[in-house]
Amino acid sequence: MEITRDDLRRYKHMVDELKSLDAMIESVNNTYKSPQLTSTGAGRPRDPSDPVSRALYKKDKLRQQRMELMKEMIRIEQFVDSIDDMKERAICRYHYLMCFTWEDTCFRLQQYSSAKAVSDYDRRWWNERP
């Protein structure tokens, strides 16, 4: 499982995207709530001009996007969990997964005197990987 630092950097944007997709799915649920959604069931034809059919199609696409995004996020989390270097694993969790600043990451680790030392350790670790 090959993960790059850029993948980790994108993680916080994935969290935002996940929240956005959840809001959009909820919006589709709220906008098109009607007896038609529950009473017509599977026998309803998928007419593209029908607002209920469009809503159901949109909801399916959003759920599929959410599922793909979750797979990628889980892949990144599993990579972080597999890092043998305990310092680097903690740095990745705090800075990339939990979106802490370098200063906050440094404070949490309590073994570094500066945020620059933490970011340098992170950079060296990534550069030394095979």
pLDDT digits (tens, 9 = 90+) for 27-63: 887 765 544 444 444 545 556 667 777 788 888 999 9
Residue 103's nearest CA partner among 88, 113, 93, 90 is 113
Note whether 73 and 11 are within 8 A (CB): yes
Do 20 and 57 belong to one domain?
yes
Note whether 100 and 109 are within 8 A (CB): no
Backbone angles phi, psi at 114, to 5 degrees: -150, 160
Q: What is the domain extent for residue 122? A: 84-130
Do 67 and 50 belong to one domain?
yes
Do 78 and 54 belong to one domain?
yes
* 82, 98, 113 - which closes a domain: 82
Note whether 122 and 96 are within 8 A (CB): no
Whether this model's pTM surpasses 0.95: no
**Type and span of the H or E element at 9:** helix 5-31
Check residues 14 and 45 and name the one with the higher pLDDT. 14
Do 104 and 62 belong to one domain?
no
Do 46 and 12 belong to one domain?
yes
For the cut 60, the answer to whether the pLDDT of residue 129 exceeds it is yes
Do 52 and 90 belong to one domain?
no
Note the pLDDT of residue 35: 47
For the cut 80, the answer to whether the pLDDT of residue 2 exceeds it is yes
Do 14 and 45 belong to one domain?
yes
First to last CA, the chain: 13
Interatomic CA distance for residues 117 and 65, integer angstroms: 38
3-state helix vs strand vs coil in the chain, percent to 5: 80, 0, 20
Residue found by looking up tokens 């959840």 in the block: 22
Do 71 and 126 belong to one domain?
no
